[in-house]
Structure 1
Amino acid sequence: MEIGLYHDSAGTRHAGGVAIYAQWMAAELSKRNEVSLYTQSGEFTELVRSSDIDIIEVPSFSNRIPDALGSYTPISDQNWAKLAMAIWSARSDVIQQMNDNLDVLCTFQWLDDVLLSNAIDIPTVFQYHGLANTGVGVKLRETLSDTEFVLANSHDTATAVRETLGYDVEDVIYPGVDTDAFLPSASPAFISDDPVILFVGRATEQKGIFDLIEAFATLDSDARLCIIGRGNEEVIRGQCERHGVWDSTTILGEIPHHELPNYYAAADVFCLPSYSEGFGMVNLEAMACGTPVVTADLEAIRSYITNKENGLLVEPGDTVAISNAISRLLDSTELRAALGERGRETALEFSWEQQAARLEEFCINNIGTVAESTTDNERFVRPQAQLSGTHD
C-alpha cells in the first residue's frame, strides 16, 4: 500500500508530540509499505533518515510570515505558515504527486486536513490528538473538511469528539514508545547527589509547570527540579524565584528526542501535572525507562496508568497532592522501584510497531471501500460508525 503522512515538522529534530507520532508511524509503516512523508525542510532526525521513507521536502515558511498576520487575525503564525506550505505544494506539483502515487493521505492538524482533503482526489484520514477546546480551528475543520475518515489518539479523545462534535470516530490508534531506546539501562545524562524531579513537555500553565514549581517548593527533602521543553524561560525563572527554588532548578529547553532516554534514566521521579492531555506520551516514555511517574488524573492517562499500581495520579491543580505524591516516592526506594518496574511492563504494551500495524490494518480494510464508492461526481460520505470502547 502507498501511504502518505503530512505534517510540517514531522521529519525534523524540533518535532513536538504530534510530529513525533507522525514520524514514527511513517518509519514503522515503511517496513511493509511504500511511505511518503511530506514535511518542511530542516535537520531531519536519524529515525527519518535511516528509514525507508520517501521524504518530500517543502520549504519552511515559519520565518517568512509577517508578525502582523498572527497578531491581527484569528489564525496563528504557524497556520499562516501551513497555508503557505500548502500553496507552495499546489504550485510545485506536490498535490499532483500525491494523486499519482498515494492510496491514502494521513493528516494530524486541522488546517492541513481542510486544505488537503479538498485539494486531492485520494482518500484522506484525519486524526485528532486531543480536543482541549473547540476554537475556530475545530469549527472550520468541521465545516470545511472533505476527509473520509476520522481517528483519535485515545479513547478519551474519541469520547470528547463524540460529546462535543456529535459523532464517533472510526478507530483509536494510540501513540507508541520506542521500548528499545527508552529503557532503564539508558546511560544517565547527569549524576546528582540530590534526587531529581524531571518535567518534559511544553513549559506552559496548561501542562501544570507552575503547579509543579509551587509543589516542589514545599518538599521537605533536598531535591532538584529539571525542566525540559519549550517555554518562556523568563516567566519560569520568575516563578522559581518567587517560590525560592531557582537555585535548585535547571532549565534545559529543547532536547533532541533521541537524547531524552538519558534524562529519564537520570531522574528519580517524573512529573507531568497537566490540566488536559490527549494521551501524555512523555509519561509512557518515562515509564519505559523505569522512572516512577506522578501525573494528572485524567481519563486519557488512566488508559495506561492505574493509581498506586504503575504510577501515582493527582488531581490537576492540586499542588498539595503533587507535593505529597513526589515526597512519597522520594521517601521510599522500594516504592520507586516497584512503580518503575510495573511502569516498564506497561510501556512494553505500547510499542510503535503495534500501533503502526493497527493504522495499516485500518487503511487496508477501509480505503478499498472508499475507492469503490467514489466516482468523479460523487464524494464518499463518512459513516457514523460506532466505536467499541468509546462509551466506557
Structure 2
Amino acid sequence: MSTTGSDTDGADPFWREVERLRAAGVVGHSGRLREVFDYLAQRGPDAGSATQAEIAQDVFRQAEPDAEDATVRVYIHRLRKKLEDHYRTHPPQPGAPMLEIPSGIYALQLAGAEQEQSGAEQVSTHFAAPSGSAGSRALPRSWLAFAALALLAAFLGGLLLSRASAPVPNALWQPLIESDRPVLLVLGDYYLFGEIDPVRPEEGRLIRDFRVNSAEDLLRMQEADPARFGMAEDVGLNYLPFQTAFALEQVAPLLAASQKDVRVIAASELTSSMLSSHDVVYIGLLSGMGLLEEIAFAGSTLRIGDSYDEIVDRETGQIWTSDEARRLASPAFYRDYAYVARLRAPGGALVMVVASERITGLRGVGAIVAAQDIGRELSGPAAAPAFEALFQVTGQQGADLSDRLILARARQ
C-alpha cells in the first residue's frame, strides 16, 4: 500500500500521528492489518466512510466480494481495537492528536472531530434489547447507566434511613452482625457485548454469552473464533436481574441493624484480596456468582448443574431443576429453587449466599432469609458455623406464590 502523497505532510496533526503510529509499529510493519491502516490513512482525515466492497477490492484484491464475507469487518474491528488499546496504555498529552475508527464507520479520523450524523453513529449508543429479554425498546447507554446508579443510590439511601427502625436480625444473620469486618454487598451481574454490522447498523444488538464474562474474555473469543465474533464490540455494559431489587428490599434492613459500613459492588468487581478484609453478602442468581461460585460450593455436598438451572446432590445424585424457563409464559404453576448458605471463605471472610436458579426464586428468597422464624425452621444446621439450605419456590408467570424448605445441612 502506497504511503506517498498528502500523507507526507508532517505539519498536519492527522498525518503526524499516522507517521508516529507507523514508526512505533502499533499496527505492525507489514501484513494485512498494516495495509488496511495505510489504505484508510491514504484516504485522508476528511474522507467519508469507505464501503466494505471498496476495502475488499482495494486491499484484499477481491474482485467480486461476497456480501456475507466477514473478512473486512474482522480486520476493521482488529484495527479499531489496536488503536484503542494503544491510547489506553499510552495516554497522549492533553491536546495531542489521537486517531480512531468510530463504530460503524470505515474511516480513520482524528478523535473528537465532528462527524456527520448517521444511523451507524447512533448504534454505538443505542441498541435493541436482546432476544428473550424483558421489553424490546432500545435504551441509550447513558440511561442504562443512570438507571443502575439510581437503583444503588436509592438502596443506600434507604439503608441509611432504615437504621433507626431496623428489625432485629434473625439467627441466620447473627454471626455477620457480630463480626467486626465491614460488609461487601455483592450483586450478581452479567457482561453484555454488542454486535454491530457496519453495513446494517440498524440491526445492532446486545448479546449475553455465558462463555464471555468480561472484555478480556471477548478478546480471547475474537482471537479464537473471528468469524463468529468479528463484529463484537465491548460496549461497557453489565446488567442486573430486576428481581434482585425484591431480595434487596428484605436484606437491606437486616444489614442496617449491623451499624457497620456496607459497600455495594457487582460480582464481576469482586477480587480475592477483598475477602481478606470484608465479609460478603451475595444476592443474585447462581449463574451470576462469578468468583464466589467456586468458594461457596467448595465445601458443599451440592453443586451447580451445567445449565445453572440445576442443583445436584453429590452424595445421592438427586437433582433439583427449575422448570420456570419452560412455563414462564403460560399460567401454569412451576417450581424454582433458592439456595441459602453461610460459610467461611479463604482469607477469613464470612460469606452469606442468598441466591436462586431463576428469577422466581430470587423474588421469594429475600422474604425467606428475613423471616423471624427461619432459625426455628432450619433448627440445628443454622446453629453450625457453616450451613446450607435449599428451598422450593412455587411460581406462576414470575410471581413467587409459596415456598418450603426441602434440605438443610451443616457443611464444612
User: TM-score, normalised on structure 1?
Assistant: 0.28
Q: Which one has a larger percent helix, Structure 1 or Structure 2? A: 1
- Structure 1 or 2, whichever has the larger Rg, is 2
User: TM-score, normalised on structure 2?
Assistant: 0.27
Select the structure with the greater relative contact order (CA < 8 A; seq sep ≥ 6).
1
